[in-house]
């Protein structure tokens, strides 16, 4: 009888300890959850505040009147180096056009290559690569242009890619390959003006 009583008391005490441990674990869990939520809110607020600051810097940079081109280049380049984000990417595209207007094709490509480091979004990566490929065609660097076009994954750009590849192979005097790409581009192209351009290129290639 004494043994039974002792066992019952042990089980009862064990249950109390068990429940006590459960309550402590639940309290500790909610404490951790509360701490995480608070830290997360602080981090989110910090990111939002930082984004606002960067946005203001971006707009100030674009409204600013620069004394000379060197200052313009330096400040915009510094902004790109500091900001691997959408604002840095927009500045990359602006500076690429700036160098194109100056006919500095090498510098335009160089700044666009920096832009590839500013985003992981496939749409923007493909958009930049299209621009790089077009500039390489202007430089008559057809191999580099083809290599860049082969990296593009967006199938919606296929008509433009095939059109450009046709132009490249035509310049390389490989007219049969050029014709093949142009015809494929024509099947995919929806823009009427570009369809007319492709048709003229195909007809000219067939005559020569």
CA distances from 99 to 43, 95, 139 (A): 38, 6, 14
* pLDDT for position 3: 47
Q: What percent of the chain has pLDDT over 70?
A: 67
Q: How far is CA 145 from the centre of its chain?
A: 20
Q: Can you tell me which residue has the tokens 């309550």? A: 23
CA distances from 196 to 124, 159, 201 (A): 28, 14, 9
Q: For residues 59-71, b (16+ Cβ closer than 10 Å) or e, as one string?
A: eebeeeeeeeeee
Residue 46 pLDDT more than 50?
Answer: no
Q: 90-94, 106-110, 130-134 — which is least confidently predicted?
A: 90-94
Q: What is the DSSP string of 94-137?
A: HHHHHHHHTT-HHHHHHHHHHHTTS---HHHHHHHHHHHHHHHH
- The residue-averaged pLDDT of 35-52 equals 51
3-state SS, residue 150: coil
Residue 42: pLDDT band (50, 70, 90) is very low
170/133 Cα distance (integer angstroms): 16
Give the chain's mean pLDDT: 80
Q: Can you tell me which residue has the tokens 């194109």? A: 100
Residue 199 pLDDT more than 50?
Answer: yes
Tokens (6 digits) for 3? 């043994």
In the chain, the largest separation of any two C-alpha atoms, in whole Å, equals 113
Q: Which of 61-65, 83-87, 127-131, 202-206 has the highest mean pLDDT?
A: 127-131
- The residue-averaged pLDDT of 164-184 equals 95
> With contact defined as beta carbons under 8 Å apart, do 145 and 137 qualify?
yes
146 CB contacts (<8 Å, ≥6 apart)?
Answer: 133, 165, 168
> With contact defined as beta carbons under 8 Å apart, do 169 and 181 qualify?
yes
């Amino acid at each position: 009888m004494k043994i039974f009583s002792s066992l019952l008391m042990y089980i009862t005490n064990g249950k109390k300890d068990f429940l006590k441990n459960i309550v402590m674990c639940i309290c500790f869990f909610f404490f951790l959850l509360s701490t995480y939520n608070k830290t997360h809110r602080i981090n989110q607020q910090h990111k939002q505040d930082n984004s606002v600051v960067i946005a203001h810097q971006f707009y100030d940079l674009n409204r600013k009147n620069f004394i000379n081109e060197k200052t313009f280049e330096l400040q915009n380049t510094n902004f790109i180096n500091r900001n691997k984000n959408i604002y840095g990417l927009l500045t990359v595209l602006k500076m690429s056009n700036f160098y194109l207007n100056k006919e500095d094709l090498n510098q335009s490509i160089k700044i666009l290559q920096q832009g590839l480091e500013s985003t992981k979004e496939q749409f923007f990566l493909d958009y930049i690569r299209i621009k790089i490929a077009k500039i390489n065609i202007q430089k008559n660097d057809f191999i580099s242009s083809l290599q860049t076009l082969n990296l593009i994954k967006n199938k919606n750009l296929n008509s433009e890619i095939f059109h450009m590849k046709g132009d490249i192979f035509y310049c390389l005097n490989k007219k049969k390959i050029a014709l093949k790409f142009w015809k494929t581009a024509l099947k995919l192209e929806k823009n009427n003006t570009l369809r007319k351009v492709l048709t003229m290129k195909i007809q000219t290639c067939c005559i020569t």
